[in-house]
Amino acid sequence: MNSTMAYDGHCAEIVTQTGLLASCLREAGADLTATVPSCPDWNLSQLLHHLGEAHRWVEEIVRTRADRPPPDTALRVLPRDTTRSPAEVADWLTEGADLLAATLRATNPDSRLWTPLPSGNPRFFARRMTHETVIHRADATLALGADFTVGQPVALDALDEWMALGSLPEMFDFHPDRRALLGPGRTLHFHATDTPPDAAADWLVDLTGDTLAWRRAQEPAAVSVHGPLTDLLLLIYGRIPADRATFDITGDAELLEFWLARVLFG
């Protein structure tokens, strides 16, 4: 999957995004038992531990050039209580992100190793962990009632990655129900209203063929969604609803809701 960001940029953003999350935890005096609205099965402590464990799990894969996945502590059942303060959790998150970024930087990005989807090299993990961190930072800020913003290059790359992952043929194996999305005339267009023209911030989701497909394009569609780039990112990742005042939706709103309900990710 090609990326608009370089490998080094992804490594840097893992650290930057984790640092922003850690600062939010320290400044807010976060209640780690608070429910995360966008991940309602988790409280804030569980969300943060999931992210920190994910960083360490990927670091082990890259460091050892693993040819199979190690035990997946990132997806284990996480305790709902915590004995650590928000500042201590923030330090732990920062430590894991620094470790992961250092290991990625010390590794040939084209080295062969195990990845959960086709790619087989550290580039996949650098990009995936960047946007895993971005979206879980959004989850945490939503739980804390804080404002979430993300820079344009990162948001564009996050949306591109989401579209690319969601369109892989393997997704039908993982999620057979997504075949129901396919049908004649089913197209969706997303346009960021706060980006310059050279950002080309338009995504066309094409469900009219035998596979899920997408392209960066500004074309007529059955339903179009216009809104700020960050809000589009959070909408497509299932973090905010489509009925927010920041969105201008024209066309088949039921198709939009049907698509959003079937493609939840991350």
The size of the chain, in residues, is 266
Domain boundary among 148, 181, 215: 148
What pTM does this model have? 0.93
Query: Burial code of 113-145, b = ≥16 C-beta within 10 A, e = fewer?
Result: bbbeeebebbbbbbbbbbbbbbbbbbbbbbbbe
What CATH number does residue 21 fall under? Answer: 1.20.120
CA distance 55 to 25: 18
**Across 216-240, average pLDDT:** 97
**Strand 213-215 with 187-192, pairing:** unpaired
Q: Is residue 66 part of a domain?
A: yes
Q: Is residue 153 part of a domain?
A: no
Residues 90 and 116 occupy one common structural domain: yes
Count up the domains in the chain and report the number. Answer: 2
Distance of CA 55 to the CA centre of its chain: 14
Q: Which domain covers residue 195, as residue numbers? A: 158-262
What CATH number does residue 185 fall under? Answer: 3.30.1050.10
Looking at the predicted structure, is the pLDDT value of residue 253 above 70? yes
81-108 confidence digits (pLDDT tens): 677 899 999 999 999 999 999 999 999 9
Predicted local confidence at residue 74, as pLDDT: 47
32-66 confidence digits (pLDDT tens): 999 999 988 899 999 999 999 999 999 999 999 99
Q: Is residue 1 part of a domain?
A: no
Residues 39 and 139 occupy one common structural domain: yes
Looking at the predicted structure, is the pLDDT value of residue 75 above 60? no
Residues 130 and 242 occupy one common structural domain: no
Residues 26 and 138 occupy one common structural domain: yes
CA distance 32 to 262: 30
Q: Is residue 115 part of a domain?
A: yes
